[in-house]
């Protein structure tokens, strides 16, 4: 029986959500194409993960080795090259994460298999594999097809596919000896590093005023600071504001920052790319202020204001302060 | 330390009106402003800072049309020593796998200890050129790089993971590193830099110079082919508050008051 592979992703003793999102999509694809769903689990002392994953797939291939304890593109690639060459899955799903982007392109190149990265949908049309991707900061979608192949590799965007619960699959755990004898030679994991936190915890705030690149200049930051104060909320931001050093990194909302769920989230001059959206989409109420009516942020907001932020923000601050008097 | 940077000339689209070309396979770019890809801009700065600390040279390479010269000039003005543009009609329709193959053919004959690329391109978001290129060259790589420290024979890097966490890795040289935004503070270009850059020559190479066949590039060599582009369907739409600024802000305040949020 042909297989669909899902590469389990885990870090610091936890299976990551993207694993279950890929398993849900993988299950759907394997049912449609009459193939088995197989999880590939690489790590060290991962029996607990293996057991949990048996609920979600027909089988779990476990490669347990001290050299696989932490993600490392070198060792992971060695193992996966071996497994994919041996078992020839029709498709291998990998997360489009910091791990996946470090691994999938070199793996596909070594195996000479077509790869599509950062996909938000995927389906087989006959033997042809068709994917949907987002380009130009989420303003345009692309439907694309891959070069015909026996086996494909696809990275899926996290927080895009729903991790549905299925009835326990009672999958079989199969242990495989690590297919490499030589030591790690060119890439060594040293340790994790958590940048120190500041004094404001944006995840605890009820009201968040978030500012993006639309603010243009550090000198303009005072108008959003004032608004945050008028709301009695905290000031947060999109990534470019941290990159420029205008706010500390613990104020960043998004995949590489914090995930927040305030009662009110006001996005100002933020375009709404998925890395930002996935950090704030579960807020109770979202208001977006952006001068571009086509900005993707309006697809995630409850209320939109299509205006120049430099006019709206100061007026809104005044209104709020008036009301308080 | 000899460093090669791979850069891409991309349209700025965050604030622009986007229209799809009549072919349905690309966007109209006539009215868009192009610049160096945001992630590559950080790779460029990192390369120049490393050169300033460890000597050597910086060579900037792009696959693109003549218009991409402005991005290469920017690299030269900011401190790159040499610029190469790979241009051929046959390259049109190439996906990022083919772009990596084209770059590989040229880079394999150049001396280098380090290759820097951006972690992704802001336009198509593949995040794969660097890693494919490293594999073709047979050298190690690290992506999402937030810190680079060259040591004897290897480089120590911080890779950015999700949620702000980083991992520290040691990667043997020569290596390819794909930089994440925020790794440094890109400098402004001096007038003198611009003047000097205008005088420098940009080396232009074609398909023949590169040594690939027509079949190996363009759509025929690609892993992935665009079938159609479309404006994403809207699942949930914000209620747009209209009127003048006074009216809108009043509506915002009333709405929030109604919900007990203020
Ligand atoms: C691995 C990875 C991780 C990332 N992690 C994160 C993350 O955690 N968080 C994050 O935010 N991003 C993250 N990003 C970056 C993300 O892809 C975007 O680049 C970023 O979110 C864009 O920020 P922005 O919306 O502020 O800027 P832009 O996309 O440049 O948008 C600016 C917006 O401001 C509007 N604007 C401009 N002027 C005005 C005005 N006068 N009035 C009103 N509106 C105006 C424009 O119309 C535009 O929509 C990550 C990227 C990568 C590759």
Residue B257 in any domain: the answer is no
What own/partner pairs with CB < 8 Å and gap ≥ 24 does B9-13 have?
Answer: B9/B34, B9/B35, B9/B36, B9/B37, B9/B62, B9/B64, B9/B67, B9/B68, B9/B70, B9/B71, B10/B34, B10/B35, B10/B36, B10/B37, B10/B121, B10/B122, B10/B123, B11/A136, B11/B123, B13/A136, B13/A137, B13/A139, B13/B122, B13/B123
Least Cα distance to A121 among A100, A151, A144, A102 occurs for A144
In A, minimum Cα distance to B259 occurs at A285
Compute the distance between CA of residue B121 and CA of residue B50 in angstroms, rounded to an integer.
22
Higher pLDDT, A115 or A324: A115
- Three-class DSSP category at A67: helix
Over range A291-314, report the average pLDDT: 97
Asked whether A308 lines ligand 1 (CB < 6 A), one says yes
Q: Which helix (H) or strand (E) holds B39?
A: helix B38-54
- Interface residue B14 vs chain A (CB under 8 A): yes
Compute the distance between CA of residue A273 and CA of residue A277 in angstroms, rounded to an integer.
6
Least Cα distance to A17 among A8, A6, A28, A30 occurs for A8
Residue to probe by mutation, ligand 1, list A102, A210, A216, A240, most atoms within 8 Å of CB: A240
Asked whether A157 lines ligand 1 (CB < 6 A), one says no
Over range A36-63, report the average pLDDT: 98
- State the Cα angle at B39 between B36 and B45, rounded to 5°: 80
Check pLDDT > 70 for residue A325: no
Sign of CA dihedral A56, A59, A61, A62: positive
Average model confidence (pLDDT) for chain B? 96
Residue B262 in any domain: the answer is no
Nearest CA to ligand 1 atom 26: A212
Check pLDDT > 80 for residue A182: no
Please tell me the predicted confidence (pLDDT) of residue A15. 97
Compute the distance between CA of residue A244 and CA of residue B181 in angstroms, rounded to an integer.
9
- State the Cα angle at A183 between A182 and A184, rounded to 5°: 125
Check pLDDT > 90 for residue B228: yes
Over range B75-80, report the average pLDDT: 96
Tens digit of pLDDT for each residue in B125-179? 999 999 999 999 999 999 999 999 999 999 999 999 999 999 999 999 999 999 9
ipTM: 0.96
Task: Quote the domain boundaries for residue B45.
Answer: 2-221
Residue to probe by mutation, ligand 1, list A216, A271, A281, most atoms within 8 Å of CB: A271
Please tell me the predicted confidence (pLDDT) of residue A184. 74
Q: A49 with A10: CB under 8 angstroms?
A: yes
Q: For chain A, which residues make up each domain, given as ranges? A: 3-175, 202-324
Over range B21-34, report the average pLDDT: 96
Query: Do the domains spanning A3-175 and A202-324 agree at the CATH topology level?
Result: yes
Which residue stretches of A63-202 are H helix?
A: 73-87, 100-111
Nearest CA to ligand 1 atom 9: A254
Taking CB atoms and an 8 Å limit, are A190 and B136 in contact across chains? Answer: no
- Interface residue B103 vs chain A (CB under 8 A): no
Q: A116 with B224: CB under 8 angstroms?
A: yes
Please tell me the predicted confidence (pLDDT) of residue B143. 98
Q: How far is the CA of A31 from the centre of ligand 1 (A)?
A: 38
Please tell me the predicted confidence (pLDDT) of residue B104. 98
Closest CB to B225: pick one of A110, A144, A195.
A144
Compute the distance between CA of residue A90 and CA of residue B186 in angstroms, rounded to an integer.
44
Residue B215 in any domain: the answer is yes
Over range B32-59, report the average pLDDT: 98
Q: B6 with B81: CB under 8 angstroms?
A: no
Sign of CA dihedral B102, B104, B109, B115: positive
Q: Which CATH class is domain A3-175?
A: alpha beta
- Interface residue B27 vs chain A (CB under 8 A): yes
Least Cα distance to A156 among A280, A295, A5 occurs for A5
Residue A80's contacts (CB-CB under 8 Å, 6 or more residues apart) are A7, A40, A92, A103, A107
Nearest CA to ligand 1 atom 15: A239
Q: What does pTM read for this prediction?
A: 0.97
Nearest CA to ligand 1 atom 20: A239
Least Cα distance to B155 among B57, B56, B50, B81 occurs for B50
Taking CB atoms and an 8 Å limit, are B164 and A257 in contact across chains? Answer: yes
In A, minimum Cα distance to B154 occurs at A186
Closest CB to A140: pick one of B182, B229, B255.
B229
Residue B227 in any domain: the answer is no
Please tell me the predicted confidence (pLDDT) of residue A126. 87
Over range A133-138, report the average pLDDT: 96
Taking CB atoms and an 8 Å cut-off, how many pairs form between chains A and B? 261
Q: How confident is the model at residue B234 (pLDDT cuts 50, 70, 90)?
A: confident
Structurally, chain B folds into a number of domains equal to: 1
Taking CB atoms and an 8 Å limit, are A264 and B261 in contact across chains? Answer: yes
Q: B133 with B6: CB under 8 angstroms?
A: yes
Taking CB atoms and an 8 Å limit, are A98 and B255 in contact across chains? Answer: no
Q: A93 with A5: CB under 8 angstroms?
A: yes
Over range B86-108, report the average pLDDT: 97
Distance from CA of B179 to the nearest CA of A (A): 12
Residue B143 in any domain: the answer is yes
Over range B225-235, report the average pLDDT: 92
Fold of A202-324: Rossmann fold (3.40.50)
Asked whether A215 lines ligand 1 (CB < 6 A), one says no
Over range B34-56, report the average pLDDT: 97
Distance from CA of B209 to the nearest CA of A (A): 23
Residue B184 in any domain: the answer is yes
- Interface residue B231 vs chain A (CB under 8 A): yes
- Interface residue B142 vs chain A (CB under 8 A): yes
CATH number for the domain spanning B190: value is 3.40.50.620
Among A17-31, A74-88, A171-185, B99-113, the minimum mean pLDDT is found in A171-185
Please tell me the predicted confidence (pLDDT) of residue A39. 98
Q: List the beta bridge partners of residue A3.
A: A36
């Amino acid at each position: 029986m042909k297989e669909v592979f899902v590469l389990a992703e885990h870090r610091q003793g936890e299976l990551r959500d993207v694993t279950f999102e890929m398993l849900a999509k993988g299950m759907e694809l394997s049912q449609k194409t009459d193939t088995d769903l197989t999880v590939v689990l690489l790590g060290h002392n991962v029996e607990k993960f293996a057991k949990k994953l048996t609920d979600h797939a027909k089988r779990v291939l476990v490669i347990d080795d001290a050299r696989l304890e932490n993600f490392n593109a070198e060792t992971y690639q060695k193992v996966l090259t071996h497994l994919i060459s041996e078992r020839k899955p029709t498709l291998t799903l990998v997360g489009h994460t910091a791990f996946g982007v470090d691994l999938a392109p070199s793996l596909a190149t070594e195996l000479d298999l077509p790869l599509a990265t950062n996909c938000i949908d995927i389906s087989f049309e006959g033997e042809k594999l068709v994917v949907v991707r987002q380009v130009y900061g989420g303003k345009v979608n692309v439907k694309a097809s891959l070069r015909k192949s026996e086996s494909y590799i696809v990275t899926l965007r996290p927080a895009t596919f729903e991790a549905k619960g299925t009835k326990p699959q009672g999958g079989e755990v199969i242990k495989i000896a690590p297919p490499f004898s030589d030591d790690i030679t060119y890439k060594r994991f040293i340790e994790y590093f958590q940048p120190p936190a500041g004094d404001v915890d944006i995840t605890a705030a009820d009201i968040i005023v978030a500012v993006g690149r639309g603010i243009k200049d550090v000198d303009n930051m005072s108008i959003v600071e004032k608004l945050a104060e008028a709301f009695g909320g905290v000031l947060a931001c999109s990534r470019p504001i941290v990159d420029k050093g205008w706010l500390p990194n613990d104020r960043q909302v998004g995949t590489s920052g914090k995930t927040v769920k305030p009662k009110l989230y006001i996005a100002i001059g933020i375009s709404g790319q998925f890395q930002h959206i996935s950090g704030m989409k579960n807020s109770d109420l979202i208001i977006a202020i952006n001068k571009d009516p086509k900005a993707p942020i309006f697809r995630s907001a409850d209320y939109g204001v299509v205006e120049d932020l430099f006019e709206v923000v100061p007026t809104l601050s005044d209104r709020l302060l008036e009301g308080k008097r | 330390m000899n460093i090669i940077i791979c850069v891409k000339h991309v349209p700025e689209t965050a604030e622009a009106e986007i229209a799809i070309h009549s072919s349905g396979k690309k966007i109209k770019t006539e009215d868009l402003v192009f610049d160096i890809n945001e992630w590559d801009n950080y790779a460029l700065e990192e390369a120049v800072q490393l050169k300033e600390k460890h000597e050597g040279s910086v060579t900037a390479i792009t696959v693109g049309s003549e218009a991409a010269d402005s991005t290469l000039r920017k690299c030269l003005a900011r401190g790159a020593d040499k610029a190469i543009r790979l241009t051929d009609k046959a390259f049109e329709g190439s996906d990022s796998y083919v772009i990596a193959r084209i770059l590989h053919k040229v880079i394999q004959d150049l001396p280098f200890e380090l290759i820097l690329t951006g972690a992704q391109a802001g336009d198509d978001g593949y995040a794969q050129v660097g890693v494919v290129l490293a594999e073709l060259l047979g050298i190690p790589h690290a992506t999402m790089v937030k810190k680079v420290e060259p040591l004897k024979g290897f480089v120590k890097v911080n890779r950015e993971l999700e949620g702000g966490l980083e991992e520290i890795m040691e990667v043997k040289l020569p290596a390819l590193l794909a930089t994440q935004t925020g790794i440094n503070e890109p400098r402004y270009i001096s007038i003198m830099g611009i003047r000097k850059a205008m005088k420098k020559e940009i080396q232009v190479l074609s398909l023949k110079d590169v040594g690939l066949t027509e079949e190996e590039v363009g759509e025929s060599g690609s892993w992935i082919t665009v079938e159609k582009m479309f404006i994403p369907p809207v699942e949930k739409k914000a209620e747009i508050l209209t009127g003048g600024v006074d009216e809108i802000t009043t509506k915002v305040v009333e709405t929030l008051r109604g919900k007990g949020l203020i």
